[in-house]
Amino acid sequence: MTGSGDSVEKQVENLTAEDAREEFLELQTLLWAANREYHSSDAPSISDADYDTAKRRYLDLLDQFPELRKNATQAATVGAPIADGFTKVTHAVRMLSLGNAFEDEDVQNFDTSIRKYLGLDREAALSYTAEPKIDGLSLSLRYENGELVQAATRGDGETGENVTANARTIQALPHRLTGAPAILEVRGEVYMSHPDFEALNARILAKHQADPNPNKKEPKLFANPRNAAAGSLRQLDSRITAERPLRFFAYAWGELSEPLAETQWGAIERLAALGFETNPLTAQCSSPADLLAHYRQIEEQRASLDYDIDGVVYKVDDLSLQERLGFRSTTPRWAIAHKFPAELAWTRLEAIDIQVGRTGALSPVARLQPVTVGGVVVSNATLHNEDYIKGFDSKGEEIRGGKDIRVGDWVQVYRAGDVIPKVADVDLTKRPDDAVPFEFPTTCPECGSQAVREEGDAVRRCVGGIICPAQAVEKLKHFVSRKAFDIDGLGAKQIEMFYEDEHLPIRTPADIFTLQSRDSENLSKLEKRKGWGDQSASNLWAAIDEKRTIAFGRLLFALGIRHVGEVGARDLALHYGDWDVMAQAVDMARAAALAHRAADEAEEAERVAAAEHGRRARVKEARDRALAESNVPDAATAAWSDLTGVDGIGATLGLSLSDAFANSDERAAFDALRAHLTIVPPEAPQKDSPVAGKTVVFTGTLEKMTRAEAKARAEALGAKVSGSVSKKTDLLVAGPGAGSKAKKAADLGIETVDEDGWLELIAGA
């Protein structure tokens, strides 16, 4: 604070614009150099105090002379010394989220399904741990030979952000461990205590009030301790993080060179012994009833704790059981988060707007009088669909006790999973007399096309397809989104801008790849426009060029074909290996796809007819008749069954894919796009195990594991588990009592082992 540079202390008010500019540029150079030195860990040429003073002066000048902003080069932007943000870290062991329980019954089911999976009966002992779920952000700390070498946020679970410099400033974290495994990744929650949070906000406020600048902006206070902790940990300038009182509870681990203990409880004790803070309210419990008792106890203490918690986490205590239970796609089977009831708030519903998504889905959104829910001001909330507003679903079942939602109503709002605002209830006693039931539109509010609701479907969809500007824009946004083409500098905002652009429009995916050549022929060049410069334009061209080579799966996902998501696209890419091979196969299967649809329709017609006449529906015959009438070539049938034989690809997805490729407009768009791209074929995931890529069938009684467990293990090792023996089967695992399957396998000459043989086979993996 006690700055030495006199020039820095000059009164802003007396400056001419020219003086200001000169001083501004000087400061910029100074700060830039200081940032560079600081981050390359050179000896800094100025003290922290001088740096702060210079920075404050720099920002003051910017406030006073906004026109200076155009002189601010991005690299020197103060407060963000590293312009590009954090580097990415791939977690050695994924950081997963937890499944949720809301009711006592869910906790009982958790116990039941674990016992079922492990094959334990109801009386068998099964111990758990229960600990408060801290409302902060998870952090993974990697120690090698006792040294803290890396800290990473959770991110999407696969990769997080490298926040090592910031983590090193957290006082509560041991920087060096003694007696720890050579490799130890400690995971836990970074949080801020209530007193520290309030003191921080008070400090920000005081600093603000002390600021003599008359043009100062409103102080930016943190809404809650969690935001404060997140904001502090994700500071690009770790000196700021150092000033923030962050704390850390350890509760889990990632990669380990040796086990920490045999139980969860023991592992936590071990982490505590190594110097990590662990939560004192952790307990060992021996039954669901015990877990619930501990839950209530923590719930009672909740208000008196000096940190925020949002539930209680239950984990299977025995680590070898944890390992057997393993993981579903995104959550472990051996742990669950029992959430406290969400915070509720009442407010007025001011309007209901309809948004149109990329598939044409009309989604109602509630515009609310802003209200604070769980520390965040909410002004929008999802209303899901037509039925949710009406209060009855298509089967006539009540939603919210059958109360409909009307504009003008008092509505109760909560944040589902503490994130997505939802309207939960309506106060009928406060309903205005003139409130009328909401009429859900039957035409698209964006393009005027019909909006139809398929039988049994919850959503109403605009049929306009690519004609509908809303769908076209949303489709393009999907195309450039992170899991699709992921083009730097071409996000949702830019897509909206370019879609509307007169001179340089992007209306189809292919337009993205002709953008630069069209720009060069254009009179109103991009780099001449407001908000664009030489640099930003050439950055965009480079980012687009980078994606002219694209993985097959990403491309297929990017097209936004209904029902073809990230996983489906990847599986299809893996199955066909090549774009043209797939396109040909899909074309070939067209006749069979249409026949399948005809059969569905015939089946439905038969049901209706049967219901009318009060007779039993002869569904199968109706289907067979329809299929026979369609007279599908064998090659088409073969292509169709090959397509729908892919794991996870069924008739719905097959039809959707077929329709997209058969639609001449869409097909033309695909072909136009393809001309600009080099498509990289997918690499089969190579698992290093003796059963990778093999198709395995289990039969008979398994004694050392349950069916579900055997299947999950086999799949984790890259095997495909099938229910029936065919000539594609590579291995049959037969327990006692194996019958027809074992015989069939013997007939086909398929290798057969017993359970022990199987365990031996996979033992090394």
Residue 730 near residue 694 (C-beta atoms within 8 A): yes
Helical ranges in 675-718 per DSSP H: 707-716
Instruction: Report if residue 486 touches DNA, rule: CB under 7 A.
Output: no
Instruction: Report if residue 611 touches DNA, rule: CB under 7 A.
Output: no
Residue 133 known to be catalytic: yes
Instruction: Report if residue 355 touches DNA, rule: CB under 7 A.
Output: yes
Q: Pick the binder of DNA from 77, 284, 382, 481 (CB under 7 A).
A: 382
H/E run at residue 679:
strand 678-680
Distance, CA of 354 to CA of 470 (rounded, Å): 11
Instruction: Report if residue 365 touches DNA, rule: CB under 7 A.
Output: yes
Q: Pick the binder of DNA from 25, 281, 376, 627 (CB under 7 A).
A: 376
Q: Give the range of 262-270, 296-304, 454-462, 545-553 binding DNA by CB under 7 A.
A: 454-462
Residue 276 near residue 127 (C-beta atoms within 8 A): no
Instruction: Report if residue 569 touches DNA, rule: CB under 7 A.
Output: yes
Nearer to DNA, 317 or 474 (CB): 474
Instruction: Report if residue 419 touches DNA, rule: CB under 7 A.
Output: yes
Nearer to DNA, 505 or 648 (CB): 648
Pull the structure tokens for residue 93: 């062991």
- 129: β partners: 284, 315
Nearer to DNA, 538 or 652 (CB): 652
Candidates 287, 30, 311, 44; CA nearest to 189 is 311
Instruction: Report if residue 225 touches DNA, rule: CB under 7 A.
Output: no
Nearer to DNA, 378 or 673 (CB): 378
Candidates 741, 673, 652, 730; CA nearest to 696 is 730
The nearest distance, CB 575 to DNA, in angstroms, is 12
Instruction: Report if residue 534 touches DNA, rule: CB under 7 A.
Output: no
Nearer to DNA, 166 or 471 (CB): 471
Count of residues engaged in binding DNA, rule: CB under 7 A: 58
Instruction: Report if residue 417 touches DNA, rule: CB under 7 A.
Output: yes
Helical ranges in 492-551 per DSSP H: 492-500, 509-513, 515-520, 534-546
Nearer to DNA, 15 or 617 (CB): 617
Nearer to DNA, 254 or 560 (CB): 560
Whole-angstrom CA distances from 500 to 496, 539, 719 are: 7, 21, 49
Instruction: Report if residue 162 touches DNA, rule: CB under 7 A.
Output: no
Instruction: Report if residue 457 touches DNA, rule: CB under 7 A.
Output: yes
Strands 99-101 and 159-161: unpaired
Whole-angstrom CA distances from 434 to 398, 430, 431, 492, 758 are: 24, 12, 8, 39, 71
Q: How would you class 708 by CB atoms within 10 Å of its CB: exposed for 0-12, middle for 13-18, buried for 19 or more?
A: middle
Residues in the chain: 765
Nearer to DNA, 284 or 382 (CB): 382
Q: Pick the binder of DNA from 378, 451, 673, 697 (CB under 7 A).
A: 378
Whole-angstrom CA distances from 203 to 222, 245, 668 are: 11, 12, 61
The nearest distance, CB 521 to DNA, in angstroms, is 35
Site for DNA in 719-738 (CB under 7 A): 721-723
The nearest distance, CB 479 to DNA, in angstroms, is 12
Q: Pick the binder of DNA from 119, 155, 245, 357 (CB under 7 A).
A: 357
Q: Pick the binder of DNA from 297, 707, 753, 761 (CB under 7 A).
A: 707
CA 245 to chain centre: 29
What phi and psi, each to the nearest 5 degrees, are found at residue 224? -160, 165
Distance, CA of 122 to CA of 293 (rounded, Å): 19
The nearest distance, CB 440 to DNA, in angstroms, is 14
Which entry of 10, 116, 133, 728 is annotated as an active-site residue? 133
The nearest distance, CB 720 to DNA, in angstroms, is 9
Sheet of strand 335-339: strand arrangement: 99-101, 335-339, 309-316, 128-134, 283-285
Site for DNA in 106-125 (CB under 7 A): 113
Site for DNA in 629-648 (CB under 7 A): 647-648
Catalytic residues, by residue number, are 133
Binding site for DNA (CB under 7 A): 97, 100, 113, 223, 227, 328-329, 355, 357-361, 363, 365, 376-382, 384-385, 393, 416-421, 456-459, 474, 560, 562-569, 647-654, 707, 711, 721-723
